[in-house]
A and B are shown apart, each in its own frame.
Chain A
């Protein structure tokens, strides 16, 4: 540049040039004069991250209790269990005849119990359930299991939610709310939990007694049972409708949280729509993997019941297997006895994000949790991607 500035930092311009020359010796001196104390390998924030978000946890089953004819409670114990937010889940790892699969289960105990190394899970036996059959046949006191750290975003968030939460539970969907009720009881959470609990009969209402006990001692927790298959005094009868929600919600603003099977979401979702709530006041827990993909609107009719060739790259290994249009790519990988990372199994968390090298998949928009750039650069969440052609995918190493 032509223009010359007359910049003087110190009274004599010459000193400035000297200062420049001293930059290197000064820096050397700074280094030489500093103490040689050891560098901390794990500073506080990294230590906290490891505590709050361990990649793996190991537990021993220390107690098994039948909650109903088809629902069982498992007490998991360890030297340390990561603290969590009431409503979160853990993903449990299974090795069933060489097939490495995972399932997400909400933690039903209070976060307080985690401090003494304990989580509780409440698991309902599904008809023909591959994994729940395994659990009911194999999980006993003394069984050791491996899980993820606490995961998921289904929890009360005071920056966002109304002070009153209408919690709608169906079946084993009671578990995250049972955790929230205890967290309120234990002074960990601070909101009103009005639980509308849909059951077929009173006998099937797992944890009803325990919930009533919390409610009896804490005005912030209310429990309303809605029985669909029997009429009983003091209980609502039928399905969970907009009228029932309005009846118990009162006049103050409220958020609706839902956790239950897909059929409940289909029915209650329509009822909630009648309430005219803003989107921010309606949340639902994920419902697990889709089991009837070919019936989804938009699934190409000519692709029903097809089998395809699936080529899987994991690290240095390549595996070729068959994949069905009815099952997600993740399930096909698990069937082939290969191990893929997975947590939520509903397309949201992105843990199973994989590179689709070639082929075409079907993804239900509701379960398409991908980032925009992932779509642009050909990445899919294999838990919510269903084959529509031969596929080649690269899956992260577990």
Chain B
């Protein structure tokens, strides 16, 4: 068995792993990034069908910003020298509620003032409470920035004096805070449209994480890479190599070796042992503790309890349509749509447990941001929905195609009726990424495309405050959707960056 030594080994080249490896390599650590698949990025990738190249997962990236007003992600990309062409997303979202008693069709802009003005138009007398919501969100964002910078060791005095409103709201759900702010119900419905990006209903979803996401979207807008998210992943990969790091694909890490409570190395499915004191794991905590960590039986029980207390986030289902007409010809005017059968997201959340009900749909028409993303005369439409727990358990090898196509058919029907368009006869290419697909390519745990649910008790803030407690093994830290920043593209990148920096700090104490 051959042996090599690295300062740090990063397991998994998903968004968290890429950002972590780029960060440690930039800091001069001898870095090895190992990925089981042949491509970097995990869901941040692309695939070609016929004359279309589809974006598998990214709807819009928040926190990028532009020259002169970079967001946190934008700053990270710039610091690492990533070569990515960003294209702005034109509007925040259009939300359509299809229930005949609740009917709603609103299009919301980016920009705080623009958003509040538009809301006032749709919901008269909402201005004051919605403005309060965003003032509070801004404080939340600043407070999280402060907490992040303090690496889980905040000064209580600073917190109580500067961020008292944040403290008061930090342990409540979105619904509780909206109620306290007396935001009219219809305005709440419109405000809560992004809930499916986090996959937990607003009755349980921690307010802070939602507020932070919302305000980032509105202040900085959203961006997408010109060449699908594969461009981001490859830009990261190039940065890692340029900083002297190594990247290997098609290789699976089998064991994380631990001795006396500290990481000593890893082994791969190619029979190689690699010595290292630091591992950054992009795979979920429970996968690492449940199947990879060897030599630390004492943490098993604790790790099991931790996992059983949490909920694994939604399973992804994405239908991709390559259409042989332009978006304009088809009457698809917007970039991002949320089509919900009802505005009641608790009902929508519970419908995720069953396959076959009318699902919620988050839709992107890439051509409405990048007109030439597909050949002239064509367009692409991507529709995402989510499922929970056992919703796919009855699917086996023989009914799989039928199961996934049944959903796609329902989706097409729903979209056609909600938007009064016709796309069914224009489908030139069609593909589905089901929970099985995410499991196949990215080893997604049971097909989940999100991390642990960010319920109030286990949301961003408590995770930040407990970063030290969550360190079960010296030298083993976690990045990505299952880590402390919760899930989502920008959180994945930022968590990787933070964990990379923390690992670098750890390494300074090695000698």
Task: Enumerate chain A interface residues (CB-CB to B < 8 A).
Answer: 1, 3-5, 7-9, 13, 16-17, 19-20, 22-24, 26-28, 30-39, 41, 43-46, 48-49, 51-53, 82-83, 85, 111, 115, 153, 157-160, 278-280, 315-316, 341, 348, 350-351, 353, 369-374, 376-377, 379, 396-398
Among residues of B, the one whose C-beta sits closest to the C-beta of A13 is: B168
Also in contact, A36 and B308, with CB within 8 A (given A5-B136, A24-B465, A83-B398): yes
B 444-482 contacts with A by CB, 8 A: 444-447, 457-458, 461-462, 465-466, 469
Main secondary structure on chain B at its contact with chain A?
A: helix
Q: Is A397 within 8 A of B270, CB to CB?
A: yes
Interface status of B498 (Cβ within 8 A of chain A): no
Within 8 Å by CB of A49, from B181, B302, B436, B469, lies: B436
Within 8 Å by CB of B401, from A85, A280, A372, lies: A85
Q: Is B446 within 8 A of A44, CB to CB?
A: yes
Smallest CB separation, A375 vs chain B (Å): 9
* Residue numbers in A under 8 Å from B435 (CB-CB): 45
Also in contact, A22 and B135, with CB within 8 A (given A374-B230, A398-B250): no
Nearest 6 A/B pairs, CB to CB: A280-B428, A34-B309, A45-B447, A39-B290, A43-B446, A16-B168
Among residues of A, the one whose C-beta sits closest to the C-beta of B431 is: A153
Within 8 Å by CB of B308, from A13, A20, A35, A369, lies: A35
- In angstroms, Cα B10 to Cα A201, docked, is 61
Also in contact, A4 and B165, with CB within 8 A (given A44-B393, A159-B408, A341-B38): yes
Residue of B171, B237, B249, B443 with most chain A CB atoms under a 10 A cut-off: B171
* Residue numbers in A under 8 Å from B445 (CB-CB): 43, 46
Q: Is B291 within 8 A of A41, CB to CB?
A: yes
Q: Is A23 within 8 A of B461, CB to CB?
A: yes
Interface status of B76 (Cβ within 8 A of chain A): no
- In angstroms, Cα B381 to Cα A159, docked, is 14
B235-270 CB mask vs A (1 if < 8 Å, else 0) is 101100000000011110000000000000000001
* Residue numbers in B under 8 Å from A28 (CB-CB): 466, 469
20 A–B contacts from the bound complex (CB under 8 Å): A1-B139, A3-B135, A5-B132, A13-B168, A16-B167, A20-B168, A20-B170, A26-B462, A27-B458, A44-B390, A45-B438, A46-B439, A46-B443, A48-B396, A48-B397, A351-B38, A372-B46, A373-B233, A377-B235, A397-B270
Q: Is B430 within 8 A of A9, CB to CB?
A: no
Q: Is B142 within 8 A of A160, CB to CB?
A: no
* Residue numbers in B under 8 Å from A16 (CB-CB): 167-169, 171-172
Q: Is A31 within 8 A of B168, CB to CB?
A: no
Within 8 Å by CB of A374, from B169, B177, B234, B324, lies: B234
- In angstroms, Cα B376 to Cα A56, docked, is 40
Also in contact, A19 and B172, with CB within 8 A (given A35-B308, A45-B447, A371-B46): yes
Q: Is A158 within 8 A of B228, CB to CB?
A: no
- In angstroms, Cα B37 to Cα A351, docked, is 10
* Residue numbers in B under 8 Å from A1 (CB-CB): 135, 138-139, 142
